[in-house]
Amino acid sequence: MRAFFRIAALWQLSEAEQLALLGITSSSILDGLKAGGIADIGAETIERLGSVFGIFRAINIIMQHPDRADAWMRRPNTGAPFAGRSAIERMTGGDISDLDAVRRYLESVSGRLG
């Protein structure tokens, strides 16, 4: 969970955005995760974490400068999965498929670079 909260800080995620990315509804659960006190998280949250980590990795491969990669996450984007929204806006749409769409897009771009 520490890695998620480091990414959340880099992407300047609000509490609401963190909750949406993790697919949880309770601020107290989020606080427990931050404190390391909640060890049992659901399979969907684990899947969401994997997507966030994959997105973080892919955008950093593409941009090669961490500050640019982090800033890109908030910029409006005309790419197919974004429809003018930022990656953060798409990812926090509420459905795990939103995370998957961003991850697939970035991994396809990073794969073409490598």
Over the stretch 26-39, which tens digit does the pLDDT of each residue have? Answer: 899 899 999 987 76
Over the stretch 46-85, which tens digit does the pLDDT of each residue have? Answer: 999 999 999 999 999 999 899 999 999 999 999 889 999 9
The residue among 18 and 42 whose pLDDT is bigger is: 18
Q: Where are the domains of the chain?
A: 2-113
Token pair 């909750």 is found at: 19
Token pair 């670079």 is found at: 113
Token pair 């926090």 is found at: 92
Single pTM value for the model: 0.92
- Rounded Cα distance, 10 and 94, in Å: 21
Structure confidence at residue 40 (pLDDT):
76
Q: Are 92 and 17 in contact (CB under 8 A)?
A: yes
- Rounded Cα distance, 13 and 98, in Å: 16
Handedness of CA 17, 12, 65, 49 (dihedral sign): negative
Report the share of the chain in percent with pLDDT over 70. Answer: 96
Structure confidence at residue 113 (pLDDT):
60
- Rounded Cα distance, 78 and 105, in Å: 12
Residue count of the chain: 114
